[in-house]
Structure 1
Amino acid sequence: MALHWALEALCLLPLLNPQNPACANVTAMPITSATLDWLNRRWFYVASAFRNPEYKQSAQEVQAAFFYFHTNPREDRVMVREHMTTGDRCIQNSTFLKVQRANGTLSKIVKEKEQVAHLLLLRDPRSFMLGFSLDDEHKRGLSFYTDTPEATPEQLEGFHQAIQCVGLHTSEILYVDWKKNKCQLKQQQKTKGEAEP
């Protein structure tokens, strides 16, 4: 669900200005088998900033979320198992994402429409972002993920720089509250590299 509202069509590459210091920490590139292998673990949703009203409303409802990417470097799809706390209860969801390696995107069909997001790699290999509609001032957004529930100050600084890079403001960021997480038992059952039953 958190990925559902986060996947929207965009054109990212022209917006990443390598001469802008705020953009130096963001890399958009093709997705390789090594990228898929690296993604194959548990990730925690930390924060997002959306101008799309529908996505912003959905983000406001998420109290905490984590998910597992299950990848096969030889395939162009990723299985996602998500555990999200909303309304003080844990909701579990599974879906498949299509990988477009050449343009570095992940997509899926929702209500007969393909939704696409760019995978944005940061210098810190324990975090990444998804970028949405960055060519549209009224719909653009970023969501931020790390491999632990709490991002480090350095990771947050990288996210804040990316927010400025794409023309968003730090005042637009919505953070999750891990004190409200209702999926604790599920998250503690898994460690990196373990498969879901």
Structure 2
Amino acid sequence: MGSARLVVILGLAALLPADAAPCGAQRPDGSTASKLPGMWLYVAGAAQFPQHQVEMLLIDHAFLRLEPGASGQELLISHYVAVGDQCFTNNLTYLEVTAGNATLVKDANTQKTEGMLMNMSSENLLLIQYQMQKERTYLGQYLYARSLSISTADKEEFEQHAECLGLRAEQIVYAPWKTEVCQVKVAKGSDSPHAEPVAAVTASPAPATPWPGSAGN
């Protein structure tokens, strides 16, 4: 199994209907979208199936960069995921603010919904949740933050969301952030977390291999 295959997590190709918010959680509204641009660091993931947990264990660090799209109704997402000595990149997904002010993660090629953005108690946390019905139901969620220095209460909130989905504590994997394969360079004249990512070593997966952010069952 190659390194490219080992990073196929953090997303799916289809999702239950957008109004089927799991556990009754509320999604961010239109006003939230204006607070989302910038850098989001990957903190942890929770996955239902063992193969996805193994894949998460192979990730040292990852982050997202969100940028406003030309239409004003979407935020473009660039993914950076470090596995071994390679940094994998992808910019095929985006957040779309619909007429109902629901913010969704969509694939730019297929136009299919990949995940659901959920509310958290802090605007410095980003939670993407998945509940896919395909050959079998897949449950998962992934936590990002403006800073890696999140509180115990933030972790407990993430774990409560996981428990609500039926995921156990042992199905949660926290990213270690031990290497600097995918580097983060702070924008000139700024010390804010809205940094520009720089891929130290960028690798492209083999044809038909899903990018980070597209796990299958």
| Aligned 8 A contact 1:43 1:146 in 2 | yes
Match of 2:22 in 1: 15
**Alignment map for 1:11-160 (pairs within 5 Å):** 11=17, 13=20, 15-17=22-24, 27-29=25-27, 31-32=29-30, 34-52=31-49, 55-72=52-69, 75-101=72-98, 102=100, 103-109=102-108, 112=110, 114-133=112-131, 138-160=137-159
CA distance in structure 1 between the partners assigned to 2:108 and 2:69 by the alignment: 20
Using structure 1 for the length normalisation, give the TM-score: 0.76
For the aligned residue pairs, the C-alpha RMSD in angstroms reads 3.2
Using structure 2 for the length normalisation, give the TM-score: 0.69
Following superposition, the deviation at residue 51 of structure 1 comes to 1.7
AA in 2 matched with 1:87: G
Structure 1 window deviating more from structure 2 (96-105 vs 165-174): it is 96-105
Q: Give the count of matched residue pairs.
A: 184
Give the secondary structure class of the aligned counterpart of 1:38.
coil
Structure that is richer in helix per residue: 1
The percentage of counterpart residues that share the same residue type is 17
Match of 2:11 in 1: 6
CA separation of 1:154 and 1:73: change in aligned 2, threshold 3 A: farther
CA-to-aligned-CA distance 1:107-140 (integer Å, 9 cap, x gap) = 1156x57242110120111102111016788411
CA separation of 1:131 and 1:10: change in aligned 2, threshold 3 A: farther
| Aligned 8 A contact 2:74 2:94 in 1 | yes
CA separation of 1:135 and 1:90: change in aligned 2, threshold 3 A: closer
CA distance in structure 2 between the partners assigned to 1:96 and 1:114 by the alignment: 10
Match of 1:180 in 2: 179
| Aligned 8 A contact 1:10 1:117 in 2 | no
